């Protein structure tokens, strides 16, 4: 079986940690852009995109040699089959999008196409929270990725995990990259954990610059996490996929939904697993869970269609 995978673990460079979805006082966040830079750089992040609603917030001069800001914006537009709006994160755009935010009659495809035209990446935000179904996600195209995990949605509404939404569209032929993000807003409510520095992507890159990080993300040279570290992914000539990771309690090779496999730690934690795949699978993506319930996700590994 021939696997199709852009493997960040076979690419030169260093790992850079970043959050590509966050809100500041530029829209409905509680912290100024400067406070967000302090929060994320203090938490060991290397980069951040402030993606305020309807505006590219000015971050000029806020970054430094060790901390990168990637401009971005989020738009809430259109109408799904459930009559909810789509939320689309536009990563790496330099100017505010020429559309009215919260325009329920605006076709989300126009936004995605524009983001691509100006060299950005469109990411479908929090499908579960948005009430997106697979028809909603199949009727639009050209988006680079989909959020598999969104901290803010999880903490506030228990709707942060969108793995099955993503698997649905992969089965139907789409090939998205998958992202874990914070979608930080900083809302305060008793006992509500702070939606910051809790989810991230790890990007393999030679250097920490907007163009370099964006091009590595575009190529899919990243994985997502809320805690565990993926240390290696390899694929041998027979198509056997092997993973090495920090100690976890479960390793799943998620695939065409009735297939795939899940391994459990026995005695001590798991730090790796292999999977040869099964007949009929069109993809495999790896998801690990540690003893505290934190997860990491590889990007999907696609199988070349058999004919
Ligand atoms: Zn949103
Ligand atoms: Zn958001």
Ligand nearest, relative to CA of residue 187: 2
- Give the distance from CA 155 to its chain's centroid: 17
Per-residue pLDDT reduced to its tens digit, 223-241: 999 999 999 999 999 999 9
Q: Which domains does the chain have, with CATH numbers?
A: 13-225 (3.20.20.140), 230-303 (2.60.40)
The whole-angstrom separation of Cα 233 and Cα 230 is 8
User: Which residues fall within 8 angstroms of residue 279, CB to CB, at 6 or more apart?
Assistant: none
SS3 of 196, please? coil
The mean per-residue pLDDT over the stretch 81-88 comes to 98
Cα of 81 from ligand 2 centre, angstroms: 21
CA of 124 to the centre of ligand 1 (A): 9
What's the CA dihedral at 137, 141, 144, 147 to 10 degrees?
A: -10
Tell me the three state secondary structure of residue 38: helix
What separation in Å is there between the alpha carbon of 64 and the centre of ligand 2?
24
Q: How close is the Cα of 212 to the center of ligand 2, in Å?
A: 24
Average pLDDT value for residue range 202-209:
98
Using alpha carbons, select from 98, 157, 109, 95 the residue that is nearest to residue 129.
157
3-state SS class at 35: helix
Rounded to the nearest whole angstrom, what is the distance from the C-alpha of residue 266 to the centroid of ligand 2?
39
Helix residue spans in the chain (DSSP H):
33-42, 108-117, 127-130, 134-138, 151-157, 163-171, 210-219
Over residues 276-291, mean pLDDT: 96
**How far does the centroid of ligand 2 lie from the alpha carbon of residue 203, in Å?**
21
Give bridge partners of residue 244 from the DSSP assignment.
232, 272
Instruction: Please give the average per-residue pLDDT across 105-120, as a whole number.
Output: 98
Among all bound ligands, the one having the nearest atom to the CA of 183 is 2
Question: How confident is the model at residue 299, as a pLDDT?
Answer: 98
What average pLDDT does the segment 196-211 reach? 98
Q: Assess whether pLDDT exceeds 90 at residue 304.
A: no
């Amino acid at each position: 079986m021939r696997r199709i995978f852009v493997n960040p673990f076979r690419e030169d460079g260093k790992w850079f940690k970043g959050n590509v979805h966050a809100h500041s006082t530029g829209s409905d966040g509680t912290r100024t852009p400067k406070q967000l830079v302090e929060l994320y750089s203090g938490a060991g992040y290397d980069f951040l995109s402030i993606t305020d609603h309807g505006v590219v917030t000015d971050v000029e001069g806020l970054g430094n040699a060790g901390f990168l800001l990637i401009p971005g914006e989020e738009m809430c537009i259109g109408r799904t089959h459930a009559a909810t709006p789509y939320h689309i994160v536009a990563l790496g755009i330099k100017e505010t999008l020429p559309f009215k935010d919260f325009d329920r009659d605006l076709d989300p495809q126009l936004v995605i196409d524009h983001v691509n035209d100006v060299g950005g990446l469109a990411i479908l935000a929090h499908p579960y929270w948005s009430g997106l179904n697979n028809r909603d996600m199949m009727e639009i195209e050209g988006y680079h990725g989909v959020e598999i995990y969104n901290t803010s949605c999880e903490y506030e509404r228990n709707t942060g995990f969108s793995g099955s939404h993503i698997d649905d569209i992969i089965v139907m032929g789409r090939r998205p990259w998958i992202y874990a993000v914070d979608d930080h807003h900083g809302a305060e409510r008793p006992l509500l954990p702070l939606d910051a520095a809790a989810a991230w992507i790890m990007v393999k890159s030679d250097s920490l610059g907007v163009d370099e990080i964006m091009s590595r993300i575009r190529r899919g040279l990243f994985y997502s996490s809320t805690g565990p570290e993926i240390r290696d992914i390899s694929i041998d000539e027979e198509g056997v996929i092997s993973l090495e990771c920090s100690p976890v309690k479960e390793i799943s090779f998620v695939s065409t939904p009735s297939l795939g496999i899940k391994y459990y730690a026995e005695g001590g934690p798991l730090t790796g697993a292999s999977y040869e795949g099964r007949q009929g699978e069109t993809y495999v993506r790896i998801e690990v869970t540690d003893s505290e319930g934190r997860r990491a996700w590889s990007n999907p590994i696609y199988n070349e269609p058999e004919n």
